[in-house]
């Protein structure tokens, strides 16, 4: 194995891969799920390295992301690029909020802080190209937190029905429900 980790642009950095991957070496279940989640990548191992890198995702959050990707692949047939973006955005979210915090414990403010980091002021980007990135991340986070909140429900249709009934009844349990409601009603202005 090589020394170094993969940077944001897919290049090797000076960090030692051994220190980043040390806690994962003994976790066979996580390694198996990482392989299942990233099996669509034949040449690029960027997504696999992100899931194994303990400086980006905690072991618990990596397992949650793997479970989400596996469930997502069972429901629909996503493109490999969509899977890669999902893994990248969720790892960025985890890293920006705090590695120790589990996805289950994220609050509305945590997610909004991450999403607002995508915004750029008018003088910096007058063409508003950041809105596309913002919308993609918002959709990925909406799907992820909807799955996380309703992961006991098998069918995507049942999940959507439960989600819509909670919106109409305004019966929210926990912070994830607040985030979902916020995503469904929030505008970009």
Burial letters for 65-98: b for 16+ Cβ neighbours within 10 Å, e otherwise? bbbbbeebeeeeeeeeeebbbbbbbbbbbbbebe
Lowest-pLDDT choice from 31-35, 93-97, 149-153:
149-153
What global pTM score does this model have? 0.71
Domain range holding 129?
106-189
Tokens in use for 126? 């007058």
Tokens in use for 168? 């109409």
* 110 in the same domain as 40: no
Q: Are 45 and 53 in contact (CB under 8 A)?
A: no
* 88 in the same domain as 2: yes
* 123 in the same domain as 161: yes
pLDDT, tens digit (0-9, with 9 covering 90-100), for 28-51: 888 899 988 998 887 778 888 889
Q: In total, how many domains does the chain have? A: 2
């Amino acid at each position: 194995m090589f020394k170094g980790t993969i940077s944001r642009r897919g290049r090797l950095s000076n960090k030692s891969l051994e220190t980043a991957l040390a806690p994962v070496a003994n976790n066979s279940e996580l390694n198996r799920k990482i392989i299942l989640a990233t099996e669509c990548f034949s040449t690029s191992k960027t997504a696999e390295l992100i899931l194994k890198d303990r400086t980006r995702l905690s072991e618990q959050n990596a397992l949650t992301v793997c479970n989400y990707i596996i469930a997502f692949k069972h429901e629909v047939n996503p493109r490999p690029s969509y899977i890669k973006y999902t893994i990248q955005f969720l790892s960025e979210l985890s890293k920006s909020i705090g590695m120790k915090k589990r996805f289950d414990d994220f609050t509305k403010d945590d997610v909004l802080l991450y999403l607002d980091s995508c915004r750029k002021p008018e003088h910096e980007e007058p063409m508003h190209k950041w809105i596309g990135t913002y919308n993609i991340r918002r959709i990925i986070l909406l799907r992820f937190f909807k799955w996380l909140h309703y992961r006991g429900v098998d069918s995507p249709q049942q999940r959507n029905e439960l989600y819509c009934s909670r919106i109409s009844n305004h019966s929210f349990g926990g912070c994830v429900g607040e985030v979902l409601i916020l995503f469904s009603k929030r505008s970009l202005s």
